[in-house]
Amino acid sequence: MDKFSGGRAIPAEWVKPFGTQHALLCTKDVLDAPFAVINADDFYGLDAFQKAYGFLTTQVEDGKYACIGYELRNTLSDNGSVTRGEINVNAKEEITGITERKDLQKGWQSNNHSW
C-alpha cells in the first residue's frame, strides 16, 4: 500500500489500492511486455477487448500507446450520474490531456453539448 504514496501516511483502515493508476504503478517493475488495462466499472463489452487485442497484436511499438474511447452519449447510465474522462487530442489525434468530468447524466445540456 505504501508504494508511490510520496511519503504520506496512509490511514490504517485503508486496505484497498488507490485506483487504477496506483495499481498500474505497482506493476512497473514486473511488466516487460505490451499490456492493456480495462476498468471493470466502465466496461463496454467485447468491443473493448477486440480493439485492445487488435492494437497489441498489430500496431504496438516502443513509445506508441492507445486509448479506447467512446462517445459520451453511448456511455451514460440509465441509473444516475457518472464520471467520465474527456480525451483531448491534437490535429495528429495524439492525446494531449484527459479531463475528468463528474456528475454527467442523460438529458444534460450546456451551450455546446446535449446528451
For 85-108, the pLDDT digits (tens) are: 888 999 998 889 999 889 988 876
| Run of H or E including 48 | helix 46-58
- The rounded distance, in Å, linking the Cα atoms of 115 and 105 is 8
Q: Which residues contact 70 (CB under 8 A, 6 or more apart)?
A: 44
Count of domains in the chain? 1
| Structural domain contains residue 17 | no
Which residue range forms the structural domain that includes residue 91?
A: 69-115
Q: Which residues contact 114 (CB under 8 A, 6 or more apart)?
A: 108
| Structural domain contains residue 113 | yes
Where in the chain does DSSP place strands (E)? 82-89, 95-104
Residue 112 per-residue DSSP state: S
CB 83 within 8 A of CB 101: yes
pTM above 0.85, yes or no: no
| Structural domain contains residue 61 | no
Strand, coil or helix: what is 22? Answer: helix
| Structural domain contains residue 35 | no
- The rounded distance, in Å, linking the Cα atoms of 61 and 91 is 21
In this prediction, residue 2 carries a pLDDT of 64
Q: Give per-residue pLDDT as tens, 31-74.
A: 888 888 887 666 778 888 899 999 999 998 888 888 888 888 88
Say how far residue 74 (Cα) sits from the centre of its chain.
16
| Structural domain contains residue 30 | no
